[in-house]
Amino acid sequence: PVEVFDLVIFGGTGDLARRKILPGLYRRFLAGQLPEGMRIIGAARTDFDDAGYRSFVNDAICEFVKPSKHDKERIKEFVENIHYLAVDAMGESGWTELAALMRPGVIRAFYFSVAPRLFGPLAERLHEYEIADADSRIVVEKPFGRDLETAKALNGVLAESFDEHQIYRIDHYLGKETVQNLMAVRFGNVLFEPLWNSQYVDHIQITVAESVGVGGRGSYYDKSGAIRDMVQNHLMQLLCLIAMEPPSDFEPDAVRDEKLKVIRALDPVDQADIVRGQYRGDDDVASYLEDAENEDSTTESFIAMKLGISNWRWKGTPIYLRTGKRLRDRTSEIAVVFKDPPHSIFGPQEGRRGNVLVIRLQPNEGMNLRVTIKEPGPGGMRLIEVPLDMSFAEALADGDDIPDAYERLIMDVMRGNQTLFMRGDEVEAAWAWTDPIIEAWEKARTKPVPYDAGSSGPDDSLMLLHRDGRRWREIK
Ligand code: NAD
C-alpha cells in the first residue's frame, strides 16, 4: 500500500470520475493497495451528502467494474472511505469547509476532473484557502491548452500556486501497460537497442484508430479536431517513448528530458505530408458534419502525417502517424518496421515482408515480433513469416487483471512518481511543434477530404505511404 492520503476529486460526479477514477480506485482497494485510513472526497457542484455520494459511487462500481468483482461487503467497506462536499470552483462556497476537512500529516492530492477553464480557479483557491501544502499534488486532466499561448498561460497560473514537482499532467496513454513495457523491452534487453536506429529501421507507424464517431461530444470536438485531441498529446507521447535516447536512469526528469529532446528534434511538417479527413455518414451512422452540428465545419476527424526527426539516431527514418474516428476498427498500435537483410542468400522471395515489432495498445495489449523462418516441409528453401507473440493477458497469471491506465497513474500520484506525467515544458514544446501546422491550415483555409465511415480513412492517406513504396498495416 501507499501512504495514507486524502484524495479530493473535483468533478467527482462527472463522467470521467464515474467511468474511470472511482472504479479504478475500487480495483486498487481490492488489490490491497489503498492504505487503511485513506479518504476519497468527491467535490462538485451537485448537492450530495456523504450517503448520497456513496450510493453514486456504488452505482458507478456496479456499472463499470466487472461483475466478478462485485462483492457487496467489499464495496460497502470501500465506500466507507468516501465523503462528499459541494464546492464551487468559480465561487467561494465550500472552500472553508474543505480546508477544515484536511488532516495534518496526510498526503493530499487534488484531482482536477473538471472542464479546463476551471483548472486555474481551482489551483488559486487551493492556495488561497491554504488547503494545499508543500507536499500536495494536483492532477490535471486534458486538454492542456489549445495552443502554445494558452498552454503557457495555464502553466503560468498553476505555477503561481504549485511547484512543477507537485503538478501531474495526465496523459492516460502513458499509464498503459504496453507503453511502459515499451521502455522495458527497449532498455531491458540487449536485442533491440542496437537495431533501434535509421540504419536498421525502415520506418515506424503509429496508428490510433477508433470505430466510434464524435457523437455526443461533437460540438466540443469540433473546436479541437484530431490534431489537438490526439496528435499533440497521445501520439506525441508514444512517439517520444519510441524515439528517445536511453535515459541514464528511470527517474522522472531523466526520462522527461529525453522525451523533450525528441519533440525538439522534430522537423517542421510539410503540408504535402499531411492528410486530413472527415467521415461521411451512411444509412446507419451520422456524418461528421451532422455529429458536429456544424455543416460548414473544416475540422478533421482523421489525420495522417509523415514526420522526420533530425538527430543522429533517426535522420532518414520516417515516422507515419494516423488517427481518426469512425474507422474500420478500434486499434492502437506502434509498428517498428525493420529493413530487409542486406542480401538474400535464398534468391528473390515473392511477397516477403521484413521483421516488424508491433506494440499493441488495444485491443489485447501485447507485443508481437514478426520473424522469418523456413516454411516447414520438403518444399525447398521457402521462407515464411511467423509472429513471436506475447499477449500480456496470457503471460500474466491473473491475465485479465491488467490495471487500467487511470488506476496505475493515480497510484503513481500517491507515490509521488512523475515519470509517467507530462512536464510543463514537454507540453509547451509539443504545442510549439503543432501550432504552425494548424496555422498553415487556417491561413490556406484547407478542407479535410471526406472518407467513408468504417473505412481505413481517406485514400490520400494510403498514398502518403505508397509514394514512398510502403504501406500501412491493416486496421483490424
Ligand atoms: P463532466 O461534464 O461529466 O463532469 C464535470 C464535473 O465538473 C461535474 O462533476 C460537475 O459537477 C463539475 N463542475 C462543473 N462546474 C463546476 C464548478 N463551478 N465547481 C465545481 N465543480 C464543477 O466532465 P468529464 O467528462 O468528467 O470530464 C472532466 C475532465 O476530464 C475534463 O477536463 C475532460 O476534458 C477530461 N477528460 C474526460 C474524459 C472522459 O472520458 N470523460 C477523458 C479524458 C479527459
Nearest CA to ligand 1 atom 40: 16
In terms of residues, how long is the chain? 476
Whole-prediction pTM value? 0.95
Which of ligand 1's atoms lies nearest the C-alpha of 20?
A: 40
The question of whether 234 is a catalytic residue gets the answer yes
Segments of the chain scoring below 50 in pLDDT: none
CA of residue 88 to ligand 1 center, whole Å: 13
Nearest CA to ligand 1 atom 10: 11
Nearest CA to ligand 1 atom 39: 16
> In the prediction, which pLDDT does 398 show?
56
The residues, any chain, with a CB within 8 Å of residue 17's CB and separated by 6 or more, are: 9, 11, 42, 60, 113
> In the prediction, which pLDDT does 350 show?
74
> In the prediction, which pLDDT does 402 show?
72
Q: What angle, 0 to 180 degrees and rounded to 10, lies between the N-to-C axes of helices 405-415 and 22-30?
A: 70
CA of residue 141 to ligand 1 center, whole Å: 9
41, 113, 217: which to mutate for ligand 1, most atoms within 8 A of CB?
113
CA of residue 115 to ligand 1 center, whole Å: 5
15, 119, 150: which to mutate for ligand 1, most atoms within 8 A of CB?
15
What is the layout of strands, in order, in the sheet containing 201-209?
383-391, 366-374, 356-362, 331-338, 201-209, 319-324, 302-307, 274-279, 449-451
> In the prediction, which pLDDT does 346 show?
86
Neighbours of 30 (CB within 10 A): 17
CA of residue 361 to ligand 1 center, whole Å: 25
Positive or negative, the CA dihedral 63, 69, 2, 424 is negative
CA of residue 111 to ligand 1 center, whole Å: 11
> In the prediction, which pLDDT does 395 show?
67
Instruction: Please pick, among 127, 172, 234, 343, the residue that the annotation labels catalytic.
Output: 234
Which of ligand 1's atoms lies nearest the C-alpha of 172?
A: 43
Do residues 146 and 425 touch, judged by C-beta distance below 8 A? no
CA of residue 118 to ligand 1 center, whole Å: 9
Q: Which residues pair with 384 in a beta bridge?
A: 373
Nearest CA to ligand 1 atom 23: 14
Distance CA 323, CA 230 (A): 7
> In the prediction, which pLDDT does 322 show?
98
> In the prediction, which pLDDT does 362 show?
86
Distance CA 335, CA 359 (A): 6
Q: Residue 420 has which C-alpha cell? A: 509517467
CA of residue 14 to ligand 1 center, whole Å: 5
Name all residues whose Cβ lies below 6 A of ligand 1. 10-17, 44-46, 87-90, 113-116, 118, 141-142
16, 140, 223: which to mutate for ligand 1, most atoms within 8 A of CB?
16
The residues, any chain, with a CB within 8 Å of residue 203's CB and separated by 6 or more, are: 317, 318, 319, 320, 337, 468, 470
CA of residue 8 to ligand 1 center, whole Å: 14
> In the prediction, which pLDDT does 431 show?
98
pLDDT digits (tens, 9 = 90+) for 58-71: 999 999 998 888 88
Distance CA 125, CA 140 (A): 15
Instruction: Give ipTM to 2 decimals.
Output: 0.98
Q: 373: alpha, beta or left, given left = phi > 0 and alpha = psi -120 to 50?
A: beta
Nearest CA to ligand 1 atom 15: 45
Which of ligand 1's atoms lies nearest the C-alpha of 12?
A: 9
41, 90, 112, 114: which to mutate for ligand 1, most atoms within 8 A of CB?
114
Nearest CA to ligand 1 atom 25: 15
Query: Among 174, 120, 111, which residue's Cα sits nearest to residue 145?
Result: 120
Radius of gyration of the chain (CA): 24
